[in-house]
Structure 1
Amino acid sequence: MRGQTRDQDPTVVYLAGWGRSGSTLLERLLGELPGVTLLGEVVHLWERGLHEDQLCACGAAFSACPFWTAVGARAFGGWQAVDLDRLAYLRERVDRQRRMPRTARRRPDPGTRAEVEQYAGHFRAVYAAAQQVGGARVLVDSSKEIPTALTLSHRDDLDLRVLHVVRDARGVAYSWAKTVARPEAGGEPMPRFSPARSTGLWLSGNLTVQALAWRGVPLTRMRYEDLVADPAAALAEAWRALDLPGSPELPVRGGGAAGPPEVDLGPCHSVAGNPMRFRTGPTELRADEEWRAAMAPGDRRLVTAMAWPLLRRFGYR
């Protein structure tokens, strides 16, 4: 039922793509729109929230966060009722790239259908509860994982719409080579990837998103570079393309001759993701273009050669 919100079905904007492409910035900007609640990377909620009790973006441990405590109570009668072992088993069965030949089918076999329904049902319960607790018309899940989105696409009681965010593969590869600490994990560094490995994953993440279109999920694309250059226009265009309810009025200052656009970021309850989810207050939006001057020439040539067909498709020179 595209173009309308269904009264009993949570409306979820799922951010898809590959990491270090600006999805956390996009998520935070979406969170400044009226009627929107951010959830962070829900695919990691079960491990990082329930099992490891890492920090919510509000600064509290997951178990102490009033928002997530209320969500767990509404969704499952308390998080202790979630069978994490069963959920991990189901994830291995349906939420892996190697399972996509089965989960991308329009009519999967009965066994796959049953496992997908059960696995995605946990997400649907979280979304419905979060919508009630936060009072939002639209929820944002920044999980990015395409296999996860495919499982969600099988739920008839979920209004799923996908926003595919992309960034120049060379900037992505340069970013993945950096050391970035995770505040929610005691400063433990995020994973690092070589330029070749990062670009392989960039290609995979940005190609497999088409499986969602095959499944009939509303899908549109946004470039990180366009978002940073004119965030209000980029969000408005994506909002219209996904036919979302309400008006996407981003409270942004500056831009153009007045200097970089600036947005006041409020607190949120993003459950997992890039450290930027912890940032609040006035934030200037500047494109991270350090790679253009600092990336090793050999790495740049390698990434360009590997990613060239998709770079051209996405409008990169």
Structure 2
Amino acid sequence: MARDNAQAGKKLVYLAGYGRSGSTVLGRIMSLQKGVLDLGEVVMAPRFLDRPKHYCACGEQLMACRIWSTLPEPLKHLPHTDASLKSHLAMLESIATLTDHEFIIDSSKTARHNAFRPFYLRRHLSYPLQLVHLVRDPRACVWSVIRWRLRGDHVHRHAYQLGVAALTAFSWIGANLAAELYRFCHHEASVRVNYDELLQRGFPDSLKSLGPVGRLEDVVIERNENCHSMGGNEIRNRARVIVEQDTTWKAQIPKSVRILVTALTWPLMLRYGFLQVRR
């Protein structure tokens, strides 16, 4: 697709990998930089665009948000489900004409039916796509899902925990393999980052223009006009967030869940440095 003047100089930064890996926090950190527009999970937009009283992360209702309210009317009344490939593309193209930001952040990731979405967007988008493969320890991701899905009495039921752990572990594997495949095919336009290391050490050289200098722990994120997420983690709507590592899962996760997840995901855990082999 040929580029016009509206898209010239822009780049889509697509956050890939599995959910609950820190993409909401990462997007909000990036939004602190001038020229960066964080849209959150664009794939989820149709679920909310027809609900004008729903709030955007900028603090405005969608009908008043300077980004989402100015989309063409057909894109505001899509079926209330995840965006199709074509509608996802259309939203990104439309937003590129509405803003002068250089970087547009889309954290739709690569889990399940989104596995090959970045391939499609790269092929058809009128501006370049930079893929950021965000990885987090699968045991942390699994325990986050269990705490969210199995609230109340169910959280104490061992069989439920193991069932959800297995399903989540397989989804984590699939999402990360999809991102690995993209990186294999388009290595020059992709980078992998470990979420916890990112907080400790800061952005790698290849992403320096997308974030503040130095370690990210204790960085204070204030609500700002560059952040326009409408779905995903609830912290998107907090007016003020202090970035900190969540290590509570290490003490809370049951031993049986830890063993099961490790047994299912150990090859990728080794690859990403989440398992240390003692010699």
Q: TM-score range by the shorter chain?
A: 0.7 to 0.9
Q: Which runs of 5+ in 1 are unaligned?
A: 1-5, 73-77, 96-118, 181-191, 241-246
Q: 1:62 to 1:208 in 2, by over 3 A?
A: same
Residues 22-61 of structure 1 mapped to structure 2, 5 A cutoff: 22-50=22-50, 54-61=54-61
Q: Is the 8 A contact 2:57 2:229 kept in 1?
A: yes
Q: Is the 8 A contact 1:10 1:128 kept in 2?
A: no
Aligned length: 252
Q: Is the 8 A contact 2:56 2:65 kept in 1?
A: yes
Q: Is the 8 A contact 2:9 2:102 kept in 1?
A: no
Q: Which runs of 5+ in 2 are unaligned?
A: 1-5, 150-160
Picking from 220, 227, 230, the partner of 1:263 is: 220
2:3 is aligned to none
1:220 is aligned to 191
Q: Is the 8 A contact 2:42 2:106 kept in 1?
A: yes
Aligned equivalents of 1:82, 1:57: Cα separation in 2? 18
Residues 1-317 of structure 1 mapped to structure 2, 5 A cutoff: 8=8, 10-50=10-50, 54-70=54-70, 72=71, 78-80=72-74, 84=78, 91=84, 119=86, 122-145=87-110, 146-155=115-124, 157-179=126-148, 194-216=164-186, 218-230=189-201, 233-234=202-203, 236-239=204-207, 247-248=209-210, 250=212, 260-267=217-224, 268-281=227-240, 283-317=241-275
CA apart distance, 1:219: 1.1
TM-score under structure 2 length normalisation: 0.79
Which deviates the most, 217-226 or 297-306? 217-226
Q: 1:219 to 1:79 in 2, by over 3 A?
A: same
Aligned equivalents of 1:178, 1:273: Cα separation in 2? 16
Q: Report the secondary structure of 2:197's partner residue.
A: helix
CA apart distance, 1:222: 0.7
Identity %: 28
User: Aligned AA for 1:265?
Assistant: E
TM-score under structure 1 length normalisation: 0.70
Q: Is the 8 A contact 1:21 1:172 kept in 2?
A: yes
Which deviates the most, 145-154 or 30-39? 145-154
Aligned equivalents of 2:81, 2:120: Cα separation in 1? 14
Question: 4+ runs of 1 displaced by more than 4 Å?
Answer: 87-90
CA apart distance, 1:8: 2.8
Q: 1:249 to 1:55 in 2, by over 3 A?
A: closer
Aligned equivalents of 2:148, 2:83: Cα separation in 1? 32
Aligned equivalents of 2:274, 2:198: Cα separation in 1? 15
Q: Is the 8 A contact 1:19 1:144 kept in 2?
A: yes
Aligned equivalents of 2:17, 2:255: Cα separation in 1? 26
Q: 1:63 to 1:156 in 2, by over 3 A?
A: closer
CA apart distance, 1:171: 0.7
Q: Is the 8 A contact 1:131 1:137 kept in 2?
A: no
User: Aligned AA for 1:301?
Assistant: I
Aligned equivalents of 2:83, 2:228: Cα separation in 1? 26
Q: 1:150 to 1:299 in 2, by over 3 A?
A: same
CA apart distance, 1:123: 3.4
Q: Is the 8 A contact 2:49 2:68 kept in 1?
A: no
Q: Is the 8 A contact 1:10 1:127 kept in 2?
A: no
CA apart distance, 1:89: 11
Q: Is the 8 A contact 1:41 1:272 kept in 2?
A: yes
Q: Is the 8 A contact 2:131 2:190 kept in 1?
A: yes
Q: Is the 8 A contact 2:46 2:82 kept in 1?
A: no
